[in-house]
Amino acid sequence: MTITVKDLPVDIHAALKEAAKARGKSLNSYVISILAESVEEDARRRVMRERWAEYQKFLATLPPLSDSTSLIREDRDQDHR
């Protein structure tokens, strides 16, 4: 498959060429690797958002917790007797 990028700024083109050369890759293979990484990152972020939403729903089902400060103080005071 072929993709044409129009109006690519000269400085971005030069930076991509330099980065590809530094990695021993062709410009084409380097751009493909950047695009692949971007797609993978988007997928990871989508999964994280979905899991976060599931976690929030789960938390909403839990009963409220009481303040444990008094229990901790009581336990601490018993250890010092």
CA dihedral defined by 2, 39, 27, 15, rounded to 10 degrees? 130
User: For residue range 4-26, what is the model confidence (pLDDT) as tens digits?
Assistant: 999 999 999 999 999 999 999 99
* 45 assigned to some structural domain: yes
Please write the tens of the pLDDT for every residue from 24-51: 999 999 999 999 999 999 999 999 999 9
Residue 69 lies in a domain: no
Q: Does 73 map to a domain? A: no
Number of domains, the chain: 1
> Are the CB atoms for 30 and 23 separated by under 8 Å?
yes
pLDDT of residue 45: 97
Domain that holds residue 10: 1-63
* Tens-digit pLDDT profile for residues 69-78: 988 888 888 8
**Residue 16 forms part of a structural domain:** yes
Query: Is the residue at 19 inside a domain?
Result: yes
Return the closest-CA partner of residue 12 out of 29, 33, 32, 27.
Answer: 27
Give domain status of residue 13, yes or no: yes
Is the residue at 7 inside a domain? yes
CATH number of the domain that residue 36 is part of: 1.20.5
CA distance 24 to 30: 9
